[in-house]
Amino acid sequence: MGQPDMGASTSAIIDVRGLTKTYETGFAALKGIDLQIRRGEIFALLGPNGAGKTTLISVICGIVSPTTGTVSADGHDIRTDFRHARSIIGLVPQELTTDAFETVWATVSFSRGLFGKRANPAHIETVLRQLSLWDKKDSKIMTLSGGMKRRVLIAKALSHEPSILFLDEPTAGVDVQLRQDMWNVVRALRDSGVTIILTTHYIEEAEEMADRIGVISKGEIILVEEKAELMRKLGRKQLRLALTHPIAALPESLADFALERSADGGELVYTYDTKGPRTGITTLLGALADAGITFRDLSTHQSSLEDIFVSLVKEAT
């Protein structure tokens, strides 16, 4: 929070430059992505279906090859230094893919082995306990519920102690209680120094969890901002006044107010900050009365992160 912008590749733990991906079908899923993820942050990638979130994550994790551009993970190029880059990354995929006949313990332990890490039962036990899967350690995966299977995927992704964790829609289909538990695990990981990148459709989730938020639409990143800054924007509210008689122009006495006149002059819109020391509404209404402007109706409107998101995605189309 409040950190300077990190353009330098040295300070970004994930550095994506000029990344494009055109699938064999000819479909351009990523159209020139530049993105720097800061060490130790929780970054939420928001975007509608088909925006390119999974494609972007898959390229960074080395599952899908990029068409052009470069990606490095903690200084390791994902193409020329794949093994090292992949060894520091954990991925919780969007699709539930688990070995149905294996036990929880076996599948999570095996996953660690895939990264060439020496067996560490104590670590596997810690991870399973954190994810409330310890009592299921000897159960076959196919006997678990959907939410449990998703937690197994998280356990697998953490089995090799990655320093960067990608979570692709981790809470899709997970109940409210479990979602809270999951977020506690994610926060604990962040507190232990793990950098976290998650995708979500749930704006509240990004709002609750993220340090920064990125919005992707049609293969392009259209916004990256501190969550705190977005929330500050949320603090803005609009007061709409429907006038009794349309006015041709704003009187001079109202020039100092952040007022906008509608095209037909029938409405005035006043934008104010709900988090500021005063809204200025009382003064404004007094000044309107002094200017002889009366209104027949009024309403207030507060833009939500959802509004911002929807209008951004619309603008980008």
Q: Minimum distance between the CB of residue 169 and Mg ion, rounded to whole angstroms?
A: 6
Q: Minimum distance between the CB of residue 231 and Mg ion, rounded to whole angstroms?
A: 26
Exposure of 309 in the CB half-sphere (CA atoms within 13 A): 21
47 binds ligand ATP (CB under 6 A): yes
Q: Minimum distance between the CB of residue 92 and ligand ATP, rounded to whole angstroms?
A: 13
Q: Which of 1, 2, 10, 25 binds ligand ATP (CB under 6 A)?
A: 25
Cβ distance to ligand ATP smaller for residue 25 or 299: 25
CA distance 121 to 113: 12
Cβ distance to Mg ion smaller for residue 94 or 279: 94
Q: Minimum distance between the CB of residue 100 and ligand ATP, rounded to whole angstroms?
A: 23
What is the SS3 assignment for 44?
strand
Partnered with residue 45 across adjacent β-strands are: 199, 214
CA distance 180 to 105: 24
128-135, long-range: CB < 8 A, 24+ apart:
128/104, 128/155, 130/185, 130/188, 131/155, 131/185, 132/181, 133/104
CA distance 207 to 15: 24
* Stretch of residues binding Mg ion (CB under 5 A), selected from 25-33, 45-53, 110-118, 148-156: 45-53
Residue carrying the six token digits 């950190």: 3
* Stretch of residues binding ligand ATP (CB under 6 A), selected from 20-28, 104-112, 118-126, 279-287: 20-28
Cβ distance to ligand ATP smaller for residue 37 or 215: 215
Cβ distance to Mg ion smaller for residue 44 or 284: 44
Residues making contact with Mg ion (CB under 5 A): 53-54, 94
